[in-house]
Every structure is written in C-alpha cells, then in structure tokens.
Amino acid sequence: MFTHPANLRDHLAALRGRVVLLMNAAFLTYAVVTTLLSPVPITPDALMNGPHKYRTWAALLVTLGTLALWRWPRQVRLVYVPYLIMLSLLSILEVRSLRVTNTAPFHLALWLTGNMAVLPLIFGSRTGAKLAAGMIAAILVGLVSPQADAMGLDGYALADWATTLIVMAAAAASSTMLMQIIENYLNAHDRTAQALEDARVDTVTGLPNRAISEARLDAAVQDAHLHGTPLSVLLLDLDHFKAVNDEHGHQAGDRVLRACAERIAAHVNVPHGLVGRWGGEEFIVVLPGLPEPEARRLGERLREVVAATPIGDLPLTTSVGGTTLQRGPLHPAAPPDLHAQVRENLVRAADLALYQAKRSGRNQVCFLPLNPA
C-alpha cells in the first residue's frame, strides 16, 4: 500500500524525538555511573564547583531538555536549539580544562561524536552539517586557551585532539550523507504522491476524475447489491457551455466549471456520496442509499443552485438526468460481471434521461426507470 508522505514525515519526526530521548538517557546514565565510580568524594562542592562540575551542569541541562521534549514532543528542533547552545558552551569550558591539564579528551570525544551523528537527523542534512561544523569550530576555540599557551601540548595530546576532531567530522559527514538519502527519498515520495493525486483529481474542478468516479460507482453498485439498498445516479450537463468557451474563452469556461463544481458538491451531503467530473461540462453524482423520489428532489435542488446566481456576468443553467437501482440483495447465482453490467446500465439510463431533459428544453430534471435483471 502506498504510504501518504505526511505519514512518513510524522514517522521521521517521532524518530527524532526517540533518538534525542535515547541520547539523553544514555548521557544521564553515564553521568551517574562515572560520578559514582570516580575516586573523588561526592559532595555538593565537588558536584557544583569541583571535578564533577561540568558533568553535573551538563546532566542538569540534559534533564531540562528531556522534560521539555516530554512536554512538547513535536518540537524536537525548538527544544534542541538552546540545548545545543549550552552544550557548545560547556564543551568549550571542558575543552579548555582538558587543554590546561594536557588530558586526553576521551569522554568528551565520545559524547561529541554521538552528537555529531544526531545533528543531521534532527535539523536536516544542510542545517545539521552547518551545526556540526560549528561544534567542531567551538572545540577549536576552546583549544586556543591563552592561559595555557605557555604549557603547550605534547605529541600524544596533539594526536588525541586530532583524532577527536577527525572522528567527529567523519561522524557528522556520514550522518549527513545518510540523511540526504532519506530526504531524497521523501522528496521523491512527495512527487509520486502528488502525481498519484493529480491522476485521481480533475485539475480544473478539484473533483474526482472519470476513472475514480467509475471506480467509486462500481463500489457503490457492489454495496447496493450486497445490502439490497437503492442507488441513484445523476448526470448534470451545463446548458450552452460551448458558447461560454467560444464567446468568453477557455479561462472563463474553467471558472464556470469550478464554480458549478463547488455549488454542486456543497449540496450533496449523502453518506458515501460522490460528485465527480464525468467529462467536458458533465458532472456525475452517485447517491448510495437514496431512493428515486429523494434523488429527484436533490436533482431539482442542484438545478436550482446552479441557475440561482450568475457566475460573473454569465447566466447558467443545467440539465439533469437520473435513474435509480432498486432491488433486493444479489442472488448467489448472479453472473460475476453483473456489477459492471449494472454500472453501465445506470450510466446509460442516466445519460438517456439527460438527453431527454435536453430535448425537452433544457434546465430541467428527467428520470428514467432502471430495473436490471
């Protein structure tokens, strides 16, 4: 089954939220475990001002981000922006601290690399790549620590920092390329969905086109046979429409068709009913469950609403032909192609009734009986 593009994008949005929650849960677990395993005693001063301070502040930030995402699950990007800004600032401070102590950035490298992989998923390939580049630039800024310049970095520390930046860039690039594939697929899916929609809908009126109208009529015939309910069909033809095109142009003709389609559709409120463009200036109205007297009254009402108000300066009328299928449930021995035969008979009878309305002076409703074997 073809999936609507909105559903795919909803799935992607939900995936973004789950990934962020997963990353947040992992970081909070990391913060708790590493703090407990650290030889430094756990005291308020150690947590807020001592060796654990950056981890503590990052954990608090992640907790706030998790709560915000829980409160606004569809605002992943909006929630992540301040989170990302604070993460960048904390990264700069942590990098400066590691730079001064000449310590290998093992923990920081792992978490920043994970963040690099998440950014393109959350913000899209282009914006995510730019943000990843900004994060790498933030680390470079942190490495330029004036108070630590005299200390310098030995070769091992330089190798550690170079490895960190290379792995971060590779993670960001890989995630960006993967996200580009997803985005290209979604865009192609959107185009395919639009093409399918265009194939189903008449571009002038926005109504179902003839192919879809026939399919819906087939389904209505089957349902009428299954439940033994009546089924009425109306064909409406705009009177003297050719003169509108000839005298006022095809654009005026299209405006007339759109206006008539809107008027007709607005007055057909039958459950599972259909208003479609049958072709040219003809419209079809399928009315499941509606017996002939009610269908005739509706046809008269549609004739009146079309003629009630000129469209622009163009007075307009319509002729209506109709018929009704009235029978009990389908007999088990009925031929398999009976549905198609009945559909053809319905259209033929409605068309003959429409022809009779035209010959009788137009701007009227005519019905012909139908009782197929």
Across 98-107, 239-248, 331-340, 349-358, the highest mean pLDDT is recorded for 349-358
Q: Is 285 helix (H, G, I), strand (E, B) or coil?
A: strand
Contact 206, 150 (CB under 8 A): no
pLDDT in tens, 211-252: 899 999 999 998 998 888 999 999 999 999 998 888 888 899
Tally Cβ neighbours within 10 Å of residue 317: 14
Where exactly are the structural domains of the chain? 5-197, 210-367
- CA-based diameter of the chain, in Å? 104
Q: What is the pTM of this model?
A: 0.56
Which CATH class name applies to 210-367? alpha beta
- Length of the chain counted residue by residue: 373
- Residue listed under structure tokens 């795919």: 8
pLDDT band of residue 64 (cuts 50, 70, 90) is confident
Q: Any idea which residues carry the catalytic annotation?
A: 281
Contact 320, 357 (CB under 8 A): yes
